[in-house]
Structure 1
Amino acid sequence: MAGLNQAFIVLVLRFVQGILALIVLGLTAYVANWWSHFWHAISPSQFNFLIFASVWTLVPALLFLILVPWRFSETRAHHKFVILGVEALTMLFWFAGFLALSVFLSDRVCFGHVCSAGRAAAVFAAFEWLAWAGTMAMAVMHVLRTRGHTSNGGKADPNLNIQEGV
């Protein structure tokens, strides 16, 4: 384990987060599309929220958490509390999303491919939440380790920079 540094672990987790977000996006979009065509109504909000969480993860969250430490580490955006906030918000979105979808599917009589896709989306969303919980725990540990230290102006840990993991 000594050969694995924290930057490499964060990079791997970011990759996993992106792949899982794409999987959940595909599954929930499939169910939402089927729902609107079959029932001629708006799809349930639980699926719509997971579509939002997937897009949030792919566009602002991962883009920010990868690009800012990599290219803009000297700016105010690379502050440890900003990174912690993005991590916490995204983790909260995934927790609420997979929990709401699980509750929605638990009292439904459901079968077929659409039902399987909905259940798979809930499972993959739970794994996505675990991945975000892992990176948020790393961010919390960094904030706690560096509390009271003002030598770096609140900058995030350089070991969490993506450029060192490449």
Structure 2
Amino acid sequence: MKGGLLLGLRAAQLALAFIIMALMAYVADWYNSDTLTMAPPQVNWQLACSVISIVSLIYLEGAKRFAPRAFHSAAALGLESANAVFHFSGFIYLAVFIGKLLFCRGSVCAAARAASVFGAFEFLFWCVSAALAAKEVAAGGFSLPFRRSPKPANEKVVAMEEGARA
């Protein structure tokens, strides 16, 4: 994967995750304080999706850079695909909820709508990221540093095997 493209994509994913988290926290706080009811599950799910994205990004970038033995390309593909599915379901779930409201005006409704739109962009970014990871996995880019050939116990055995091949 191209380092610059992937780094820019990760920065956009992180920025959108924080934006969605802030917007959904505002909406959830409004429900909890002004209406004295719990926030709807649609709001909570979108909030959870942004938290999952932040944790995923910490693993995807942190493990690759600082703990390469803990990073696996196929696991990264699964994690990126799961995030794409989470954000797809989240922004659709929230958009349908907002569309069925009888009354939706004001800053809270605008924040929920904006979070749904940002969720759609987050979904697209995770799809691109998953496609790049799938390309790496398909090209045989499994990063398995823990699979090394075993060391022979005896140097004479190696010398005998090399002599037998010659």
What's the TM-score bracket when you normalise by the shorter of the two chains? 0.7 to 0.9
Counterpart of 1:41 in structure 2 is 37
Q: With structure 2 as the length reference, what TM-score do the two structures score?
A: 0.82
- Matches of 2:108 and 2:51 in 1, distance apart? 21
Counterpart of 1:31 in structure 2 is 27
Does residue 101 in structure 1 map to residue 94 in structure 2? yes
Counterpart of 2:108 in structure 1 is 114
For the residue of structure 1 that corresponds to 2:34, the secondary structure is helix
**Among 69, 74, 97, the residue aligned to 2:64:** 69
Does residue 13 in structure 1 map to residue 9 in structure 2? yes
The Cα offsets for residues 109-165 of structure 1, whole Å up to 9 and x where unpaired, read as 21111111110010011111111111001011112222xxxxx7x317xxxxxxxxx
Q: With structure 1 as the length reference, what TM-score do the two structures score?
A: 0.82
Looking at both structures, which has the greater relative contact order when contacts are Cα pairs under 8 Å and sequence separation is at least 6?
1
The Cα offsets for residues 33-79 of structure 1, whole Å up to 9 and x where unpaired, read as 00111221110101101111111111x20100111111122x1x321
Aligned length: 143
Identity %: 35
1:86 shift after superposition: 1.0
- Matches of 1:132 and 1:57 in 2, distance apart? 9
For the residue of structure 2 that corresponds to 1:110, the secondary structure is coil
Q: Structure 1: which amino acid aligns with 2:67?
A: F
- Mark the runs of 5 or more structure 1 residues left unpaired by the alignment: 147-151, 157-166
- Matches of 1:122 and 1:95 in 2, distance apart? 10
**Among 135, 139, 143, the residue aligned to 1:141:** 135
**Structure with the greater alpha carbon radius of gyration:** 2
- Mark the runs of 5 or more structure 2 residues left unpaired by the alignment: 145-166
